[in-house]
Chains A and B, each alone.
Chain A
């Protein structure tokens, strides 16, 4: 069960690190902040009983996609010194006003018309429940799910085809 303590810590961390993503001057620190944001969101998922969603979030986003981003930043050696612009006070103020307006709007919306979330059973969010939802005989999602995996496979094959050296370059690489 989600403990309020967990929620406050992970929620605060998620917001702070999300600010870090846009405020950090170095691309690497931005990427690392994003990793921390994703991890805190995973904790939020888990404290809401969506264990599988939390685990997948860590494995796929924090563990695979962000590692790729960090690699790219490291290999291109983007240290963040080049082309650094000073923070413009007017732009920062405008950004803060927009954020405040958006936040107030959201708060007002939930204060007036708070949608009560439907109660969930103890099975909700477990790997078994999601598996049955996706793959049980007669499931609505089974074809969609399989089609998505075919699409991902096509993207994979396409990436390899594009990334392969052509016949000319291939000879150079082999020699």
Chain B
């Protein structure tokens, strides 16, 4: 095996293991944070401070009975949980989660694939995420599942548009589609003290992107596809055991991926202003940049959880009109202004 293939495989395994093992602790963090927001204590029985709770939850899902309901479309029903995992894991391929690290005489870039069309890859994979939800909802032979699946698809399609328009603003600013170069473009400083992160250059774009990210992940206040009072559980109503677990895992994994993308595009990726230009040696530089990236992602994830337990749910028709009548025009104006400023300043 050539070293290149070994390095690639190593990076892929590291990313998949990292994302999937972060999910249980994200769920734990969500339960703890929501408990504190609601003035409760949260899980604290299993292990010290309840730290083994995610393990117990996973075991519970594993040992539950798998039920195949009557009248399902077997192929679609079984395929859907696998399809929903594609989006969160494949998108991570283009995210630079650190600068580079030198191990055994090999310099390893901490990114699986630096594609020349990185951003378009993300949009392409995101546009495929509809299939898993639609098939799961339709294959279950349950009207609530179908309604949930349809809502999820309509929501994804609507919010993807505004998200894409925000991305165009970033592409105009940095003049590239590659995510690693977008991160590199954010290394400089503005006015001598402010890091040149896109969040300062594109504040409106950042706000729209963040709202779309909530909606894309079906998080409250946009969790209409699985709104329990209306739809029992949405597209995964009829799923049990590990198949339900896969939907659950995909939801939290895509939260992590979306936060990582937000950090890459708007919050300077793995750079810490004033520190990352210094060299800490071949190994430490890679570790520090990855730690910085992880800390930023954790901050964004905290915002996701915080929002969920603070805001109430939208009405469905408001959700759609908000996307088409507020976010889309706002994203267009943002894009127009960005293009104008870039053209005028040459």
Residues of A within 8 A of B (CB): 28-29, 32, 35, 42, 51-52, 54-56, 58-59, 62-64, 67, 70-71, 74-75, 79, 126-127
Knowing A28-B76, A67-B157 touch, does A59 contact B120 (C-beta < 8 A)?
A: yes
Residues of B within 8 A of A (CB): 73, 75-76, 115-117, 120-121, 123-128, 130-131, 134, 138, 146, 150, 153, 157, 177
Q: How far is the CB of A131 from chain B (nearest CB, A)?
A: 10
Asked if B131 contacts A58 (CB within 8 A), the reply is no
Q: Which residues of A contact B150 (CB under 8 A)?
A: 71, 75
Q: Which residues of B contact A63 (CB under 8 A)?
A: 124, 126-128, 130
Q: Which residues of B contact A58 (CB under 8 A)?
A: 124-125, 127-128
- Report the bound CA distance from A71 to B157 in whole Å: 12
Asked if B131 contacts A35 (CB within 8 A), the reply is yes
Secondary structure dominating the interface of B: helix
Asked if B127 contacts A62 (CB within 8 A), the reply is yes
Nearest B residue (CB) for A67: B130
8 Å CB contact of B117 from A71, A74, A127: A127
A-B contact pairs, 27 of them (CB 8 A): A28-B73, A35-B131, A42-B124, A51-B120, A52-B117, A54-B117, A55-B117, A55-B120, A55-B123, A55-B124, A56-B120, A58-B127, A59-B124, A59-B127, A62-B128, A63-B126, A63-B130, A64-B127, A67-B153, A67-B157, A70-B131, A71-B153, A74-B134, A74-B146, A127-B117, A127-B120, A127-B177
- Report the bound CA distance from A56 to B121 in whole Å: 9
8 Å CB contact of A70 from B117, B134, B146, B157: B134
8 Å CB contact of B123 from A59, A67, A75: A59
Q: Which residues of B contact A79 (CB under 8 A)?
A: 73
Q: Which residues of A contact B117 (CB under 8 A)?
A: 51-52, 54-55, 127
Q: Which residues of B contact A56 (CB under 8 A)?
A: 120
Q: Which residues of A contact B131 (CB under 8 A)?
A: 32, 35, 67, 70
Q: Which residues of B contact A32 (CB under 8 A)?
A: 131
Asked if B134 contacts A71 (CB within 8 A), the reply is yes
- Report the bound CA distance from A56 to B127 in whole Å: 11
- Report the bound CA distance from A26 to B130 in whole Å: 20
- Report the bound CA distance from A58 to B120 in whole Å: 9
Given contacts A29-B75, A75-B150, 15 further A-B contacts (CB under 8 A): A28-B76, A35-B131, A51-B115, A51-B116, A54-B117, A58-B124, A58-B125, A58-B127, A59-B123, A62-B128, A63-B127, A63-B128, A63-B130, A67-B130, A67-B131
- Report the bound CA distance from A50 to B138 in whole Å: 35
Q: Which residues of B contact A127 (CB under 8 A)?
A: 116-117, 120, 177
- Report the bound CA distance from A59 to B130 in whole Å: 12
- Report the bound CA distance from A168 to B316 in whole Å: 26
Q: Which residues of A contact B134 (CB under 8 A)?
A: 67, 70-71, 74
Asked if B121 contacts A55 (CB within 8 A), the reply is yes
Nearest B residue (CB) for A77: B138
Q: How far is the CB of B339 from chain A (nearest CB, A)?
A: 13
Q: Which residues of B contact A28 (CB under 8 A)?
A: 73, 76, 138
Nearest A residue (CB) for B177: A127
Q: How far is the CB of A159 from chain B (nearest CB, A)?
A: 16
Nearest B residue (CB) for A51: B117
Asked if A74 contacts B138 (CB within 8 A), the reply is yes
Q: Which residues of B contact A29 (CB under 8 A)?
A: 75
Q: Which residues of B contact A64 (CB under 8 A)?
A: 127, 157
What 8 pairs across the A-B complex have the smallest Cβ distances?
A63-B127, A58-B124, A55-B120, A51-B117, A74-B138, A59-B124, A55-B117, A67-B130
